[in-house]
């Protein structure tokens, strides 16, 4: 998982035809350190403003799916819960059930279905919870 952020960032950069050096100039980063980030050798930045700067340098809309995925992968790569999940108080309250489930502890089907619906709503921004 730790390399997913760097791979995704590199894919976005290359898809826009931006060289590593040009991108580093845009975000005021050292090319050798930035290269380590793309290769998963350095952790993604934890500061939201730095992630926003990186997305802006690629002309990503701040609330668009690519910028959200960048923030999500940065959090997951650092072993954190993505910010969009934590901002949804109801969903964040269900995280213990989710973690018990993925760790193999028994959870009721109703609880599990409720968590799945909430996750779908939060990650797809679909109020119905369907994907």
pLDDT beneath 50: ranges in the chain: 1, 126-131
Nearest C-alpha neighbor of 28 from the set 5, 4, 49: 49
Domain with CATH 1.10.260.40 in the chain: 4-80
DSSP state of 41: S
Cα 91 to Cα 50, 59, 94, distances in angstroms: 26, 30, 5
Q: Give start and end residues of each alpha helix (H) in 1-131.
A: 4-15, 20-27, 31-38, 48-56, 65-77, 83-87, 89-93, 95-102, 109-124
How far is 18 from 31, CA to CA, in rounded Å? 13
The average confidence (pLDDT) of the chain is: 84
pLDDT at 83: 78
CA angle 6, 9, 14 (to 5 degrees): 120
pLDDT of residue 17: 97
pLDDT for the residue numbered 74: 93
Q: What is the pLDDT of residues 70-103, one digit of tens each?
A: 998 999 888 888 877 778 787 778 778 777 777 8
Q: Which two tokens stand for residue 114?
A: 């409720």
CATH 1.10.260.40 fits 4-80, yes or no: yes
pLDDT score recorded for residue 124: 61
């Amino acid at each position: 998982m730790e390399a997913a952020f760097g791979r995704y960032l590199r894919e976005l950069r290359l898809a826009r035809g931006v060289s590593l050096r040009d991108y580093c100039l845009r975000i005021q980063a050292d090319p050798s350190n930035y290269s380590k980030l793309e290769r998963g050798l350095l952790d993604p930045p934890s500061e939201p403003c730095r992630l926003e700067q990186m997305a802006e340098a690629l002309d990503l809309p701040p609330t668009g799916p690519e910028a959200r995925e960048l923030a999500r992968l940065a959090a997951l790569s650092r072993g954190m819960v993505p910010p969009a999940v934590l901002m949804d108080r109801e969903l964040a309250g269900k995280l213990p059930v989710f973690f018990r489930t993925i760790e193999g502890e028994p959870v009721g089907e109703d609880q599990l279905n409720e968590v799945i619906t909430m996750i779908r709503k939060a990650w797809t921004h679909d109020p119905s919870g369907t994907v």
